[in-house]
Every structure is written in structure tokens, then in C-alpha cells.
Amino acid sequence: MKILIIEDETILAESLKTLLEAKGYETEAVYDGKSGLEYAGLGIYDLVILDVMLPGLDGYQIAKKLRAMKCGTPILMLTARSGLEDRIEGLDAGADYYLAKPFDTRELLACVNALLRRQGSQVNELIFGNTSLDLSSGTLICGKENIRLSAKEFEVMRLLFQNPARNLSKETILAHVWGYDSNAVENHVEVYVGFLRKKLSAIRSNVAIVAIRRLGYHLEVTTP
């Protein structure tokens, strides 16, 4: 697995390299927007870690250009700006996940794993934070604890695990899990999110299902 780091703070870029290489990833770092776009555009990387504030082109411009070039490499965007508007701008530009600096290295590694797993073809579990969702048994697992999900709970959870950073609206979840033609209403989504939160806390997971008004739900790793 090859990861490209585009980050002009060389100390941070180096520490990311060290961290990821210790986990067995191959990494390359570039320190300005233009080289970043050039390298990422090669399409040889499994993941791009992209800073927003960069000399040359900024992270949003790079993400937009890559997506316009039909480069589908997952993008994990890093920035000192953490406002909701910035998050939305990052995701709209084509980032798959948005992490605000300073970030916890465990959260960064969890995101990297989640984004790389989505790339893999023989996925039989999805991982976020300290928790995995076993796709064959429909079980949520956290350390030694595990809990079975009902069929609908599993469908909702899988959708959230597959799109941890995107805000999934109630309509989207409803359409995916219950189908357009069902009689289910948005209240069903709230009820199932409630069930899932109870199950996550029962296995002492550090994964939270976060609701943002009018936008929907996404996952976050909570720090103890």
C-alpha cells in the first residue's frame, strides 16, 4: 500500500511518514500544491493525505482537479480549519474524509485503515475506530466484546461504516436500507440509530454516530 503525503509543514510530513511506515505502508511526501497534484495525478497511490493550506494550489483545488481527472484515489484531507463550512467544502471538493489538526494519531490511523479497506476487493469486515463490523455474521466487534445486529441495524451500520466521513441524510439511509417503495418513514432511521448507539456503547466502542442537523449522520472516533 502506497500513500502520498502532500503537506508543506515538513516536520508534520516527516512524522506522518514515520508513523505510517512503522505500520508497514510505503510513503512519499511532497511539500507544495503543484508537485502534489502532479504526483497524485499519477494514480499510483492507494491513498492521498492532503493538507488544505499549501503553497501553489490549495488542497481543495487539488482534490477538485483530481476528481475532474477521474482519479478515484481516496483523499484524507488535513487542515487546521475545523469549521463545518470547511468540512463541507473539503468533502464537496472530493475528499473522502476530513481530519482537523491537531489530530489524534489513532484517529488518523483508523481513517487510513478505513479508506484503504474500502479500496480492497475482498472485504469481509469494515473497521472504524476500535470497532469492526463483520460482514458475514453481522456482528459488531470491539476488543473481546461483540454483539449481533438485526438485519436492518446491520444495513444501517454497514452504510455508515462504508461512508464514515460523509454525512448520510435520513432520506439516503431510508432509500438504501428500506427502499424507495417502503412505508418506512424518517423516524425509522432515528429509531435504528438509537438502537445502534446502545449496541456500540454495550461493547465499549469508541465509535460515535454523530448527527448534524439537516445534514444527517456520520461516524467519529471519540477520545476518552
How big is the chain by its Cα radius of gyration, in Å?
A: 18
Q: Find the Cα–Cα–Cα–Cα dihedral 92, 96, 99, 104, rounded to 10°.
A: 170
- Count, residues in the chain: 224
Give the cell for residue 17: 511518514
The minimum distance between CB 79 and Ca ion, in angstroms, equals 8
CB nearer Ca ion, residue 5 or residue 157: 5
Give the shortest CB-53-to-Ca ion separation in angstroms.
4
CA atoms of 148 and 54, how far apart (whole Å): 45
- Which positions ≥6 away from 218 have C-beta within 8 Å? 160, 163, 164, 165, 166, 167, 168, 209, 210, 212
User: Which residues make up the interface to Ca ion (CB under 5 A)?
Assistant: 8, 51, 53
Looking at beta carbons only, is 51 or 96 nearer to Ca ion? 51
Between helix 59-68 and helix 33-40 the angle, nearest 10°, is 30
CB of 105 to Ca ion, least distance (A): 18
When CB distances to Ca ion are compared, the closest residue is 53
Provide, rounded to whole angstroms, the least separation between the CB of residue 56 and Ca ion. 11
For Ca ion, the closer of residues 51 and 107 by Cβ is 51
In angstroms, what is the minimal distance from the CB of 6 to Ca ion? 9
Given the complex with Ca ion, which of 6 and 140 has the nearer CB atom? Answer: 6
Nearer to Ca ion, 56 or 138 (CB): 56
Other Cβ atoms within 10 Å of 128 Cβ, number? 25
